[in-house]
A and B are shown apart, each in its own frame.
Chain A
Amino acid sequence: MSKRMMLNRCLNAGLKTTTRLPQLSKLSLIRFYHPISTEYDNSEALLEPLEYKMDSVQSKILSHCIKEKVPHYGFTEKALVSSINDLGYDSTMLSIIGSPNSPSIFHSSPAVMELLKYNLVTKRYNLITAELREGLVNKQDIPSLETLLIQRLKMDKQLGPKALKSLMGQLSIPSQLLMEVALPELFRLSDDIIYFSKEKDHTDMAWYTKRLGLSLTYVTSKLFMTQDKSVDYEDTIEFAKWKLNKVMNLGDYYNNVEEYAWYTVMTSFNLIKSQISKY
């Protein structure tokens, strides 16, 4: 039974009975209500969709690997093995790290898939500071969309050109990883950036188009970054600013056209009405 079916079944059961809704985990593609109250105890919360805490062994190995080994070896099993050896763990850790993923013919090993996932998820969380997350920042200090986007791009500077290429290559292979990790993470990233920046959010179709536009900007800038040889990725940052500006202008074009069309409809309606009222 798929996760979505399971959830639907629980929701329907919840409507009919008075039993408690059961705990469900691993609903990677389903979007949730975001509780903003401070009355909940979130000390046990995980960085969804990761299934272990930040002080666990898995997390220690993966973060060490991203910091020390990935720039040299890229996102490969070799980097992981080398990290495990350096930290003095047993090599069976490799299968523990890979356990949340099922094997895929498109990727070398489940552990590498977990490494890719860990890289995306932790960087997304680290982008938003704790003060910003809890809404403790002054109104004028809330960052703009552009600031957050560039900050996120800069976070990948440390990976180096080789690892960046292997990251983008592995994430864009049409596979289960793309559908269950790469695309949802991309969507969550643009959702986070819009929610926590001072950018206006929307209640209609613009909600979707703005996220889509931002995701496109991010992915194209990231692809640009893999080929970028300029000092400190200056060209990438310039490209991202230009691209974001262009995408946001598209929204303005649409709004202006709609406004003009509405104005035309109103004036022609009033014109007809005034002509009819003569008779």
Chain B
Amino acid sequence: MLRPQLNNNVTRPVRCFSALAGLNASTKAATNSTTPKDKEQLEPLSPAQKAYLERAIRVDQAGELGADYIYRGQIFVLTRKYPHLRPILNHMWEQEVHHRATFNELQLKHRVRPSLITPLWKMGAIAMGAGTALISREAAMACTEAVETVIGGHYNEQLRVLNNQYEQKHAGGKGKATTPEEIKSLIATIKEFRDQELEHLDTAIQNNSRMAVPYMLITEGIKGVCKLAIWSAERI
């Protein structure tokens, strides 16, 4: 019901009739990253560093799940009335699906537990997307603007911590401290996603998000909700 059509020219995720067919599959390899071993090894991450990464991956996964469902709700309500919005919304939604898949994979690989209130995030996100879309299309865009503003700031904060807290010394004590490859790739991922989120922000403004009535109430309200959600997804 809430699954909008994808454009044909993009790579389609495998989608059977059953939304749950994938649950029965059992293919998983305990694969490892392939860093060359000849380099001198780094000091292991401290418990506090590991705990921060654990939080970061959980909150990002929950956030991208939320974004995915917000766009699903918007597409469900809006594309019937305004077919010209379909390609714009679909483009943003596909990017969010990719973000979500990436963080799902990171969560499984690094053994991070998902947020305990995942069902609440799903319902809240659909309600937020569909609810604002029901007010008007400008309100839906204002919702996108608010969400992406908060997410952009949140990713920036994570990038700041990842860049200055994860310089590991070499195990032998020689050489300059460097950031492990694992963290570097996480930084690259988050950077890419942040840029795409900010692109969504621009798209929302171009589509008259500022003309939403009541603009201040919607954007400030949603910003507050998003911040609260980030705070709790990090912890619960």
* A residues in contact (CB < 8 Å) with B: 7, 10-11, 14-15, 18, 20-25, 27, 30-45, 132, 134-135, 137, 139, 142, 191, 195-196, 198-208, 251-252, 255, 258-259, 262, 265-266, 269
Distance (whole angstroms) from the CB of A1 to the closest CB of chain B: 15
Contact partner of A39 (CB less than 8 A), chosen from B25, B41, B49, B116, is: B41
Bound-state CA distance A58–B223 (Å) is 54
Residue contacts A-B, CB under 8 angstroms, 10 given: A15-B157, A22-B46, A39-B180, A40-B45, A41-B42, A135-B30, A142-B29, A198-B28, A200-B25, A208-B113
Query: Do B51 and A33 have beta carbons less than 8 Å apart?
Result: yes
From 1 to 35 in chain B, residues with beta carbon under 8 angstroms from any chain A beta carbon are 1, 18-20, 23-33, 35
Query: Do A255 and B1 have beta carbons less than 8 Å apart?
Result: no
User: B217 — which chain A residues lie within 8 A by C-beta?
Assistant: none
Query: Do B165 and A198 have beta carbons less than 8 Å apart?
Result: no
Of A10, A45, A199, most buried by chain B (CB within 10 Å of CB) is A10
Asked whether A40 and B42 contact (CB < 8 A) given A32-B47, A255-B20, A255-B23, the answer is: yes
User: B107 — which chain A residues lie within 8 A by C-beta?
Assistant: 203
* B residues in contact (CB < 8 Å) with A: 1, 18-20, 23-33, 35, 37, 39, 41-55, 57, 61, 104, 107-114, 116, 118-119, 157, 161, 164-165, 168, 171, 180-182
User: B42 — which chain A residues lie within 8 A by C-beta?
Assistant: 39-41
Of B18, B111, B168, most buried by chain A (CB within 10 Å of CB) is B111
Query: Do B49 and A21 have beta carbons less than 8 Å apart?
Result: yes
Query: Do B27 and A198 have beta carbons less than 8 Å apart?
Result: yes
User: A266 — which chain B residues lie within 8 A by C-beta?
Assistant: 1
Query: Do B165 and A204 have beta carbons less than 8 Å apart?
Result: no
**B61: nearest chain-A partner, CB-CB:** A203
Bound-state CA distance A163–B104 (Å) is 42
**B109: nearest chain-A partner, CB-CB:** A36
Query: Do A135 and B31 have beta carbons less than 8 Å apart?
Result: yes
Query: Do B39 and A21 have beta carbons less than 8 Å apart?
Result: no
Distance (whole angstroms) from the CB of B66 to the closest CB of chain A: 13
Contact partner of A23 (CB less than 8 A), chosen from B28, B48, B112, B182, is: B48
Bound-state CA distance A205–B181 (Å) is 31
User: A207 — which chain B residues lie within 8 A by C-beta?
Assistant: 113-114
Query: Do A269 and B45 have beta carbons less than 8 Å apart?
Result: no
**A203: nearest chain-B partner, CB-CB:** B104
Bound-state CA distance A258–B23 (Å) is 12
Q: Which 4 A-B pairs have the closest CB atoms?
A: A41-B171, A41-B41, A21-B48, A33-B53
